[in-house]
Amino acid sequence: MRCALPSILPLGAGMATAARGDYLADRARPVVEASHAEIRAVHLGRHMAQARWNELLDEALWMMAPKGRWSPDPPAREALARMLREASVARLAGETGRMVREVVNEHYSSLEPDDAAKAVAFYESPGGKVFRDFREKVLAETSYGLPYVVETAPRETIRREMEAAKDRLLNLPDEQTQAVYDFNHSSRPCPRPPHGKTRRDRSTCHGWEAASGRGSSRSSRPASCAATTAAGARADVRVAIPTTTSARRSSS
């Protein structure tokens, strides 16, 4: 029995890790699915990787042909970018996607049950769905042409869809506009703080602060919500990107 312990202990640790992952996923699933948090995290990661992506393309092309022998935007660059993006989509379907899901689950599983229920109710409401759709289209347009997604529509088409979604958001009925405004300015749920820590002021938790502040007039609220959606979408899952990077480093 004593000799068997070294092999049993890693097995037990692995089972405990898997059980914790399942627990976090189950706890976070309603909010993650209602808010489309996973694809939002992917688009945000794409946007944040833009500068490094361009550097990688330059470095790869320089290895193929020294500078001066290729123009800034040659067909070779487009072909290389497409090949690498297709490979990144395959990675997202595997290990990279698993890490994104783990980070998103860990983040949203920290919500208090009441806060999670309120967030789900908002995202499943008519106004919440319109707001979510516009936010996703903003991030999709911003990250167009970058890794982990290979778009099938021209960017201009994506831009038109984004503008149409913005119009729908700006023309919601009054009660739905009020719900979107309230969610973005006062009712964004906060994650549960670590043990022994105090909860942050709720006004800092939503990540959707409007440029005009809480004192905005009623008539300015739709435009305020639409104007700050892109910045809010980035703030909403900013925590996911460094954590994913750390997880990748620790696993390598």
Q: Cα(59)–Cα(74) distance, rounded to whole angstroms? A: 14
Share of the chain above pLDDT 70, in %: 62
Enumerate residues 6+ apart whose C-beta is below 8 A from 127: 172, 173, 175, 176, 177, 179, 180
- Tell me how far the alpha carbon of residue 90 is from its chain's centroid: 19
What mean pLDDT do residues 107-117 have? 89
Which two three-digit tokens encode residue 81?
A: 């970018």
Nearest to 206 by CA among 226, 225, 184: 184
Q: Which residue has the higher pLDDT, 166 or 4?
A: 166
pTM surpassing 0.75? no
Give the model confidence (pLDDT) of 19-75 as tens digits.
Answer: 555 777 888 899 999 999 999 999 999 999 999 999 998 888 888 766 656 565 677
As a 3-state breakdown, the chain gives helix, strand, coil percent values, each rounded to 5, of: 70, 0, 30
Residue 195 gets which letter from DSSP?
T
Q: Cα(92)–Cα(113) distance, rounded to whole angstroms? A: 30
Per-chain mean pLDDT for the chain: 74
